[in-house]
Amino acid sequence: MTINFNCPECGKKYSTEDKNIGFKFVCKQCKTKIQVPDDFIQENLNDIEKLLDEKKYDDVWKKIKPYLNPKNPHKEIGIIYSILATKGGRNCVRIEETPTWEDIAKIIDKTIIKDPTNSDLFYYRGVVSNGFEPPEKAYKYFLKSYKLRERADAAEMLALFSFNDFDNITATKKWFERAADLGSKSSTVYNFLLVIYPEFGEHMPQQYLDQAEIAGSSRYSLSNEAFQKIIDLVEEEKKRLEDQI
């Protein structure tokens, strides 16, 4: 499959085969170092340069720069971490006109074009997407992050979306199990599994029980609403499976 893309700096057009995804090269026109993007980026970020307000981007950078770690060599990723850390946090009052979720998304989108194989970028794009975009889009960013690098935090987010937004208890169980397999230390992962396994009439693996104890998890830590929803979804799933027999 052929991939068509532009240099994020000068806009020069390039075309190559999909086998070259992730390949790094220097733009012939402006000498910027770029990578061949994949079809996910082409699908979701077509014409991204038209969406970027460079003046707004520069304004955001100026507001965030004083709070960046000077040892961070990657400007854009530094901005992302700083904005996420200050949005709603104790430093928020120190920054006039705190950037919106849309502003942050633009910064991450621009950075993804330059670094399309960075799992962290897609993870934080999912975090930001959840603030103003449909859950289906946020889910795709977390899934992309997970595919680039299997990670417990992305698996946990995929489980939460499967439960909260898509009412899919089977996918919820699968993703929480994957997070546990990857050594998650999040109590949320085991809070859910401690309820889901008994409702399915299954025994929770000893490895998960040990990890749940370390994380300080309890089946009673979930809200009453979440607890009841698990019961209802499991019953629906059991009935669906019985109807197939």
**DSSP string computed for 15-35:** EEEGGGTT-EEE-TTT--EEE
Task: Let me know: does 4 contact 42? Beta carbons within 8 Å.
Answer: yes
Which pLDDT tens digit goes with each residue over 160-180?
999 999 999 999 999 999 999
> Quick one: pLDDT at residue 45?
41
- Of 15-29, 129-143, 144-158, 228-242, the one with minimum mean pLDDT is 15-29
Residue listed under structure tokens 């399915």: 200
Q: Whole-model pTM? A: 0.69
Q: How confident is residue 20, by pLDDT bands cut at 50, 70 and 90?
A: confident
Task: Let me know: does 77 contact 58? Beta carbons within 8 Å.
Answer: no
- Of 20-34, 114-128, 201-215, the one with minimum mean pLDDT is 20-34
SS3 of residue 191 by DSSP: helix
Q: Which residue has the higher pLDDT, 2 or 220?
A: 220
Q: Which residue has the higher pLDDT, 66 or 93?
A: 66
Which residue from 152, 147, 220, 226 is spatially nearest to 189, judged by alpha carbons?
152
The alpha-carbon radius of gyration of the chain (Å, integer) is 21
Flag whether pLDDT at 23 surpasses 90: no
> Quick one: pLDDT at residue 92?
38
> Quick one: pLDDT at residue 1?
56
Cα–Cα distance measured from residue 221 to residue 166, given in angstroms and rounded to the nearest whole number: 22
